[in-house]
């Protein structure tokens, strides 16, 4: 996967994805504090073991979801080449995975599709927080551990 490559849910054969209507929280706070804390912990561990930067976006991606996801990745500045972005728009029924060029060496198209499947499965059950955690865990697992960190 090259910088800016996007794996939309339709590419994974998920055109008929029909999650429950939005997360259980309010519009301003779709995830509970405990869900946010768990997601933060999972992202921190993923970054620690893989050496990549993980970022998650939950919300509307606009009419061009791929371009929006790429723009979000680019907004990470100097971290963008080593970043993996998981963007989920439940209202649009879209999941995008975008990687920077260095991260793309370790996160394959297959890994991105696997993460999309995991996210969609959890979203179908109405668990948006769990979907984000699952997506990050799958992407980190597929990226693998940096060799110098494998003895931890």
Question: Are 123 and 19 within 8 A, CB to CB?
Answer: yes
Please give the Cα distance from 143 to 102 (Å, whole number).
11
Q: What is the pLDDT of residues 130-149, one digit of tens each?
A: 999 999 999 999 999 876 65
pLDDT at 5: 44
Backbone φ and ψ for 34, nearest 5 degrees, come out as -65, -35
Domain 31-144, what fold? Diaminopimelate Epimerase; Chain A, domain 1 (3.10.310)
User: How many Cα atoms are found within 13 Å in the side-chain-facing hemisphere of 42?
Assistant: 21
Enumerate the domain spans of the chain: 31-144
pLDDT at 117: 94
Question: Are 140 and 55 within 8 A, CB to CB?
Answer: no
Please give the Cα distance from 58 to 110 (Å, whole number).
22
The answer to which of 13-17, 29-33, 83-87, 115-119 has the lowest mean pLDDT is 13-17
Q: Is the predicted pLDDT of residue 23 greater than 80, yes or no?
A: no
pLDDT at 32: 85
């Amino acid at each position: 996967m090259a910088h800016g490559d996007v794996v939309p849910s339709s590419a994974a054969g998920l055109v008929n994805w029909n999650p429950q209507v939005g997360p259980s929280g309010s519009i301003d706070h779709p995830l509970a504090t405990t869900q946010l804390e768990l997601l933060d912990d999972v992202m921190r561990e993923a970054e620690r073991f893989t050496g990549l930067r993980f970022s998650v976006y939950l919300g509307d991606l606009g009419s061009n979801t791929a371009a929006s996801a790429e723009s979000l990745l680019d907004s990470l500045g100097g971290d963008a080449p080593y970043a993996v972005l998981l963007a989920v728009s439940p209202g649009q029924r879209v999941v995008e995975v975008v990687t920077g060029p260095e991260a793309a060496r370790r996160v394959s198209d297959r890994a991105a599709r696997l993460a999309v499947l995991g996210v969609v499965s959890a979203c179908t059950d109405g668990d948006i927080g769990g979907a984000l955690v699952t997506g990050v865990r799958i992407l980190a697992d597929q990226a693998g551990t940096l060799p110098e960190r494998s003895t931890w």
